[in-house]
Each structure stands twice: as structure tokens, then as C-alpha cells.
Amino acid sequence: MSLQAVIARIAQLDEITSPRPPAASTTTGTSGFLSALDGAQSSSALSTTSPMTLGAGTAGQRALAAAQAEVGVSEQPPGSNDGPRIAEYRAATAGSGVGPWCAYFTSWAAAQAGAPLGEAGQGFGSVSALYDWAQRTGRALPAGNGVAPSPGDLIVWGGRHIGIVESVDPDGSIHTIEGNSSNAVSRRTYGPDGGGATGYVRLG
């Protein structure tokens, strides 16, 4: 059978198996299959799009959404400051090794939100370095004097620890999500002083 005959037979089979296009359409030949394939690819792309990809909310709200999805992730083994997922948080910082990872976690969440921390978006392995950067760039809000955090703000305790504010109650109680809290990503609740928080960082 010649090549032309093979091509003609394929066209006949496609004509038989493809649904008829509307009369006004100029669709011909094998495009029925191609259209179905394009449609399947489009629906698949839409079904896997997440709210963070769509850019909903402020940078802080997007970082919070990323953090909420991680609650319960824990070190493997406990006390190791490591694990497959924690290694991903660490990768959001430049040159950081295995160690306390609360700042890695907030750096990762900010990067997921499209607002990476640091002048070059390098993230921070150190709480002190992160808060120094926030102060230099006008993102830091010192605690006290009636300053109340908003959901998505980072909450800082000196150079020791950092988390993300999840919500604030009418009485001022502050709910947080923190990496490296009891060897895991955990929720915590504090009084209006944030458990002695020294300040907050507004991502935007």
C-alpha cells in the first residue's frame, strides 16, 4: 500500500470516528481529535490551579495559606531539625545547613506567596538577620504601644523564634503557626502581648 493510500485511509478512519463539527465550523480532518486533546489539557490545567497561583489576597495572606497547609509536618526523626519536607523549607534560604528551622519555614512560606524575604530574595536562616532586614526596609512593627498584628504578619521573639500570625481574637489573643515548634509545624495561642513578642513583620 502506498503512502498516499495510507494517509487517505487514516483520514477516512478519522472521519468515521470523529464527531461531526457544527455546520458553521471550518474544522476538518484530524482536528476533531486535536480539539478534544486541547480541551482535555485546558481542563486539566484549570483543575490543578491553586488559590496561591491565582495570587489571591495580600502577600501575608498567601504566606499564611501556605503555612496552614503545612500544619503537622514534623521532623524525621524528632529532634533532628531535619526531614524531607524540612529540607524543602531550608532550600528557600541561601547557604543554610541543618539547624533550627523556624526562619527557614517563614522564608519558605513567603517565597510561596511570591514575596521572598531579603534584598535578593535569599531568605533567612537566622531570626535576627530576618528582623534586621525588616527594620531596614520598613517592614518591622515593634510590639507594644497598641500595635496589633494582622493575619499573615510574621511574629518575632527576639533572635530566638519566629512564626506567622493566623488570627487575632477580639480580646487580643494571637493565634500563630510556627515551624520548629515541638519539632513540627504547630499552632500556638498567646495573650495580647504575643507571649512577649518583640515585633511583627508585615509582608504586604
**Interior/surface letters 68-102, b for 16+ CB within 10 angstroms, e for the rest:** eebeebebeeeeebbbebbeebbebbeebeeeebb
Quote the mean pLDDT of the chain. 81
pLDDT greater than 70 at residue 100 = yes
Report d(CA 174, CA 148) in Å as an integer: 9
Mean pLDDT of 67-93: 97
Per-residue cell: 194: 504575643
Q: How large is the average pLDDT for residues 50-69?
A: 78
Mean pLDDT of 113-122: 96
Section 36-57 average pLDDT: 39
132/35: higher pLDDT: 132
Which pTM was predicted?
A: 0.73
Residue 8 clears pLDDT 70, i.e. is over it: no
The backbone torsions φ and ψ at residue 196, rounded to the nearest 5 degrees and listed phi first, read: 85, 25
pLDDT tens profile 167-204:
999 999 999 999 999 999 999 999 999 999 999 999 97
Q: Which amino acid is at 75?
A: E
User: What is the b/e burial string over 122-147, where b = at least 16 CB atoms within 10 angstroms of the residue's CB?
Assistant: bbbbbbebbbebbeeeebbbebeeee
Q: Residue 147: its pLDDT value, please?
A: 84
55 or 68: whose pLDDT is higher? 68
Is the predicted pLDDT of residue 70 greater than 90, yes or no?
yes
Specify the pLDDT at position 95: 85
pLDDT score at 11: 55
Q: Write the CB contacts of 13 (distance below 8 Å, at least 6 apart in sequence).
A: none
What percentage of the chain reaches a pLDDT higher than 90? 68
pLDDT at 4: 55
**Please, what are the domains in the chain?**
3-47 (no CATH), 57-201 (3.90.1720.10)
- Residue 6 pLDDT exceeds 80: no
Residue that wins the pLDDT comparison between 58 and 30: 58
Looking at residue 21, its pLDDT comes to 38
Local confidence band at 19 (pLDDT 50, 70, 90 cut-offs): very low
- What is the residue-wise DSSP string for 9-52? HHHHHHHHHSPPPPTT----TTHHHHHHHHHHHHHHHHHT--HH
